[in-house]
């Protein structure tokens, strides 16, 4: 049975419906999510400022005593440091926490680039006023909360998608394979089964499925917050993987994608008609 092909009109109708739902959900949930994140993050920001003498004492001990503090301190820099840039400047492999041997290097990265707009007292080598301290804490908490809510919303949506896909497969009689090893050959996954994220033919797949007819169904779960983001999620990521899997498995693989959020119509038609991705 060939995978379904949607007309441009069908894709547009589905896209418009999900975009409308996205707007409603964002208006209803976005502000409350930011308020909740700010309430959770504020004590953490205040504690870090207290531990560093209002950022006037950034040294290796800060990172040795709290190996996870780098995630917050990225947001006191001007400009804010991305994770990738932080690890590149530190000279350390990416990690969840700062290894003790890189603590001094991390301090040398953060210390000289403290934001002089939010934290003017650091450059002026003095204590902050009450007003300055309040404004600095509030602005930093809001920056952190905005990032957390945006990232968390996409992550939660992806998890919901994967759970929904699993429920559909289970209802169709497919069995969950709890293995975590690579799938380099079709028979690495039994017919009539599926699994959670695994590396498939050189690229990670959110939900690999072995169809009963022997083909491999590689399902990706993607959430987009805007048209530009949608092109990245659909055409660069999913389309790129589709090519990788076709090179590895040939005609025995079908790449599919479950999507939600905001996608440009051209992005959807290109993925289906040119890149061979089933939506």
User: CB–CB of 158/218 below 8 Å?
Assistant: no
Average confidence (pLDDT) over 237-264 = 94
pLDDT tens digits, 112-143: 999 999 999 999 999 999 999 999 999 999 99
Helix (H, G, I), strand (E, B) or coil at 274: coil
Q: Which two tokens stand for residue 19?
A: 């975009």
User: CB–CB of 257/234 below 8 Å?
Assistant: yes
Give the closest residue to 203 by CA, choosing from 218, 221, 191, 192: 218
**69, burial (CB in 10 Å: exposed 0-12, middle 13-18, buried 19+):** buried
The Cα–Cα gap between 62 and 184 comes to: 44
Threshold 0.95, pTM exceeds: no
């Amino acid at each position: 049975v060939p995978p379904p092909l949607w007309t441009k009109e069908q894709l547009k109708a589905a896209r418009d419906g999900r975009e409308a739902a996205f707007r409603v959900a964002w208006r209803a949930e976005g502000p409350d999510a930011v308020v909740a994140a700010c309430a959770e993050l504020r004590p953490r920001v205040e504690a870090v400022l207290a531990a560093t003498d209002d950022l006037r004492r950034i040294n290796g001990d800060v990172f040795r005593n709290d190996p996870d503090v780098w995630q917050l301190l990225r947001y006191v820099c001007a400009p804010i440091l991305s994770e990738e840039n932080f690890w590149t400047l530190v000279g350390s492999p990416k990690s969840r926490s700062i290894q003790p041997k890189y603590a001094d290097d991390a301090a040398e990265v953060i210390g000289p680039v403290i934001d002089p707009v939010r934290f003017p007292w650091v450059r002026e080598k003095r204590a902050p006023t009450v007003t300055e301290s309040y404004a600095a804490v509030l602005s930093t908490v809001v920056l952190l909360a905005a990032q957390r809510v945006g990232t968390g919303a996409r992550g939660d949506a992806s998890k919901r998608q994967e759970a929904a896909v699993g429920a559909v497969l289970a209802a169709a009689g497919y069995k969950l394979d709890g293995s975590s090893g690579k799938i380099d050959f079709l028979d690495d996954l039994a017919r009539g089964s599926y699994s959670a994220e695994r590396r498939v033919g050189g690229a990670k797949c959110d939900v690999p499925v072995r169809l009963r007819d022997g083909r491999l169904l590689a399902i990706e779960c993607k959430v987009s917050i805007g048209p530009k983001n949608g092109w990245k999620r659909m055409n660069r990521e999913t389309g790129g993987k589709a090519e990788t899997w076709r090179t590895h498995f040939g005609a025995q693989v079908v790449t599919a994608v479950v999507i939600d959020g905001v996608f440009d119509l051209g992005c959807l038609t290109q993925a289906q008609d040119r890149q061979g991705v089933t939506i």
